[in-house]
Structure 1
Amino acid sequence: MKLFHDTFGDGPPVALLHGGGSGRATWAGFVGALTGFRAVTPDLRGHGASPRAAGYPLSGYADDVIELLDDLGLDRVTLIGHSLGGFTASLVAQRQPDRVTRLVLEDPPAPPRHGTASGGFSRARLALAGVAGGLSLRRRFDKQALLSAITQLREPQPDWWEALPAISAPTLLLSGGPKSHIPPAGLAAVAEAVPDCRLVTVPVGHRIHSTAPVRFRETVLPFLRPDTSGGTDVSGEMR
């Protein structure tokens, strides 16, 4: 599965992974602010110009990203992921912790740790109901990729939870707050499980990087440059 991707700039590499139903173009505004970095923006499998697949297991998204990093010769990389891309980035950081230098997870889904399927994604499913009505054609993605991801992420993922402590990279976890369909309490539990993690709330909903691009830049860019101070959440507190 060879992912179609764009590359911009020169410097330490940063791979940016879009959310389900989106594509690499979602990062266009932010990439312009990544001066001094080499930005790599792929389309995930089933999205944009990347191939469609017979199946869409969550692990497959991570397989594809690791293959892309191998092909590009990127032994050390910062990962930034939104939603499904954030979950994918976390899988890569769990599998290859020494490879990931910094990790930014923007409102990633936190699946149930155990028990039965969660209703936490019911609002997301409703919001994405337009997939069957032509949204997939306008945004160029396989609707099965998105529906499959939602279904899987509503199921318990105990192995994922158990592997969170394996993430060694400094991690910035962004929550969209109560306006997002991703429950903030779940992200707080993720922040507790990842050893070096700061949780920042930007209460604008699920798509922080596009809904509040200035605040996203002001929060993420200092984190990518350790010689400057990190961002804060709206209450002035940093986890």
Structure 2
Amino acid sequence: MTTEQLPHTHARAQDGTVLAYQRHGVGRPLVLLAGQANNHHWWDGVRQDFHATHSTITLDYRGTGDSGKPDGPYSTRVFADDVIAVLDDLGIDRADVYGTSMGGRVAQWLAIRHPDRVGRLILGCTSPGGPHALERDAGVRRALAQPDLAAAREALLHLMYTPAWLAGHPGPYTTLGDPGMPPHARRGHLIASNEHDAWDALPQISAPTLILHGDQDRLTPPNNAPLLASRIPDSRTHLFPGARHAYFQECRPLAGALATEFLTDR
């Protein structure tokens, strides 16, 4: 199947915020949702793996990339409504959805609040949020919050990837945050992710769901995967041995194959 690219274009959110989005490939639409404080480049290394069966749709969250950067609001529910605005602009009634990290939290609300718009759902390296979620440990929080920005970035790099993978992949890395985000938007994304809590609503998800996670993920501990599975009725789980947060890159051949098999199993 040939790959076609839709020129970068824009939708409008309900509050008028400009939302930049990108569509590549042909076939059944697959929405790919990035992690906190990242733009669509999060998916650069792997999105082409889906183009044999799907077209891929990404967006720059409000506050990132070429999208508007309002003072607010920022929440995973708002981000989910922004995805619907993009689908509406494209004239797409129903799409498969693959969300990782904060994108997995956004994907939860998409499937809960807009069940008719979501075909199959993949939740990667994410959590239900709220008091039931298993949070990262205090050492991780301190490492990411340290005032030395270079040291904080290095800490994040090693939370995303194992030393063995980094040794063979010297970068550049597209999963360490959007450097062009203004401070207010970065704070907004942090608040959105931290305040996410879909626990009570997760049983409403009707889409078949695949939950993926690295079993050495300290950024979002892997025991969140069985928690999600216990709340989502039609779900299955796969853990990647030895993988950290960015399992979708480090374990790309297997992760891509599992995701594609699930998305095409109809």
Tell me how many residue pairs correspond in the alignment. Answer: 223
Identify which of 176, 180, 183 aligns with 1:140: 180
Shift of 1:41: 1.2
Conservation of the 8 A alpha-carbon contact between 2:31 and 2:57: yes
1:161 aligns with 2:177: no
Say if 1:83 and 1:225 are closer, same or farther in 2 by CA, change over 3 A: same
Q: Is residue 70 of structure 1 aligned with residue 109 of structure 2?
A: no
Tell me, in whole angstroms, the C-alpha distance in 2 between the residues paired with 1:156 and 1:218: 29
Change (3 A) 1:69 1:122: farther
Among candidates 60, 81, 91, match of residue 43 of structure 1: 60
Question: What TM-score do the two structures reach when normalised by structure 1?
Answer: 0.82
Query: Share of identical aligned residues, percent?
Result: 33
- Mapped partners of 2:63, 2:35: distance in 1: 12
Match of 1:193 among 231, 244, 257: 231
Task: Decide which of 24, 30, 50 is 1:8's aligned counterpart.
Answer: 24
Q: Match for residue 18 of structure 1?
A: 34
Q: 1:121 to 1:168 in 2, by over 3 A?
A: farther
Q: Is the 8 A contact 2:137 2:218 kept in 1?
A: no
Unpaired stretches in structure 1, ≥5 consecutive residues: 228-239
Q: Which runs of 5+ in 2 are unaligned?
A: 1-16, 154-175
Would you say the 8 A contact 1:19–1:82 is kept in 2?
yes
- 1:3-45 Cα deviation digits (max 9, x unpaired): 2111111111001111113221221232212213111111111
Task: Supply the distance in 2 between the matched residues of 1:94 and 1:131 (Cα, whole angstroms).
Answer: 38
Q: Which amino acid in the other structure matches residue 182 of structure 1?
A: T
* Range with bigger deviation, 117-126 or 15-24: 117-126
CA RMSD of aligned residues (A): 2.7
Q: Alpha-carbon deviation of 1:102?
A: 0.5
Q: Are 2:265 and 1:226 aligned?
A: yes
Which digits, 9 at most, give the CA deviation of each residue in 1:50-83, with x for residues without a partner? 1112121232111211111111111110011111
Flag the structure with higher strand content. 2
Distance verdict in 2 for CA 1:186–1:36, change over 3 Å: closer
Instruction: Return closer, same or farther for 1:207/1:145 CA change in 2, 3 Å cut-off.
Output: farther
CA–CA distance in structure 1, aligned partners of residues 238 and 215 of structure 2 = 9
